[in-house]
Amino acid sequence: MSEFTKVEKNVYKMKDGSIWEGVPADLPRSGASLIAKAGKEYPTEWLKEQGWGKKAPAKKKAEPKKIIKEKSRN
């Protein structure tokens, strides 16, 4: 028996292959395809094939830039 997952938010597949969840008004870019509607059940295996459920690697915070003071030459 295959397992099913009920998605909580609309799931969109972006042109670059990444996955985005949310309402269409907040889409970061145009041209996304709706692959799962909120409140509906979909086969878990199929969702994973589409890239859903994968956590993006945590982004490292950029180190604060050091301010270099220029010394005036007298």
Mind listing the pLDDT tens digit for each residue in 11-48? 998 888 888 888 888 887 778 889 999 999 999 998 88
Q: Where are the beta strands (DSSP E) in the chain?
A: 4-6, 11-13, 19-21, 33-36, 41-43
For 19, the 3-state DSSP assignment is strand
Q: How many CA atoms lie within 13 A of 8 on its CB side?
A: 1
Rg (CA), the chain: 21
18 close to 6: Cβ distance less than 8 angstroms: no
pTM tops 0.75 = no
In this prediction, residue 59 carries a pLDDT of 53
Could you tell me how many residues make up the chain?
Answer: 74
